[in-house]
Structure 1
Amino acid sequence: MTKSILVTGASSGIGRAVAELFLGRGWTVGLLARRAEKLAQIAEGQRRAVVLPADVTDPAAVEAAFDRFCTEAGRIDVVFNNAGIFTPPGTIDEIALEDWFAAVNVNLNGMFLCARAGFARMRHQNPRGGRIINNGSIAAHVPRPNSVPYAATKAAITGLTKSLSLDGRAYDIACGQIDIGNARTPMVADLAQRQAEAQPDAPPMDTFDVADAARSVLHMAELPLEANVQFMTVMATKMPYIGRG
């Protein structure tokens, strides 16, 4: 039986890399993001791609997207809960309130809504169960300077992951978290440019191929439900993460 995964934030970056890898491995893949035209590009020529244009912060749109995917795929085996944003940097007193609320709305509320929708369907499908993989960040453990909204919301995802992992046991729903550091994506390219402008004499930011992050998600997703990667960190080897860098 063909396995199925719904990927949020599938139009670019890590989400797109994951979606394309899973399509290449024969999975039925739900492509959820706001930009329908970007999703259509990924789905072109892919018989098992399901385009799901939706805003993860819109509860009704999320529910409708999950309903459609389950109808077309037959069931939902995995949710890669990935959609997120990085707002402009600043100390807490400099951060615009609209940026704080936007980060909370996408990075936390959006991930809650998609986890909620996935959990409900996995709980009641036959055979029941499935897996939710939350895209956290090493920012949950070691934040960048001037990144209160991102660091706070990603730390909250760790709590979401633990609670889902605990509550899902009774329903054969596994939940794990992948913390990805400096995969080469448009978001990381923007961060690298900001760093270079702020510190021209600093060495370039260390990054790694986003395809390797996608393969890490695949490893988590392919496990039988009796096994779970609770937390995984995959990052550029020379990132200043351990110790003082």
Structure 2
Amino acid sequence: MSKKGRNLRGGFRRCGELLFSGYVYTTEDPSRKFVVEMLVDGHVVKIVRAADYDHELARAGEGDGCNGFSVFLPRSAIADGMIVEARIANLGDRVGVPLELTRPSVPHDVDGPGRVYWRSGLRLTGFLSQAAQHPSRTVVALIDDEIVARAAPTGWTHVEGRPLRSFALDLPARFADGKVKHVIVRMAEGEDLAGSPVALVAFDDGLGRMKIIPRPSGERAGPPIIAN
């Protein structure tokens, strides 16, 4: 596909000392996912797939809502660097604009109102971002447009050194039937959390038939991927 024909849209930002995030999609095929190379002074230091839920894209109706990426770069890679940039692997197209490492980072909540993980069985856990920290907020889980669980952020966790409120959602036992479920997790007010929808499989005998799959190299840190 020619560069002209791709009609790419993208952005790139520095969110913390080592954290960078962005998004990329093509208007001709918003569901297409790109692999992005992270370069420091022209040298590739990490590779990431742009397939994360992006709260701002979803809210703006851009792409398919899952065209984002976020990645921690090694401190050793940027310690003496001057410029960091993101480019589409194999194509070379630049994503956003190059960033000068001498400039301070701009705080940015890459997870929107929060993030959810599936760790095992029928339990989903996650945290709320700084902007959604009020204890009266409620998180709900939906399957086939039906609210099947809800929880308040009654716990605490640390994410990138920040204390954030955490939650746990326990789905009803009837969903432990060995079939794939797609669970939408959002704030009661309607904002989806990063990581939603969650695809999970649970059995009435627990994890006996499941195995853990290592995360792909370069993917943002998180819990292990579990599959049957």
TM-score normalised by structure 2 residue count: 0.24
Q: Which has the higher strand share?
A: 2
Q: Larger Cα Rg: Structure 1 or Structure 2?
A: 2
TM-score normalised by structure 1 residue count: 0.23
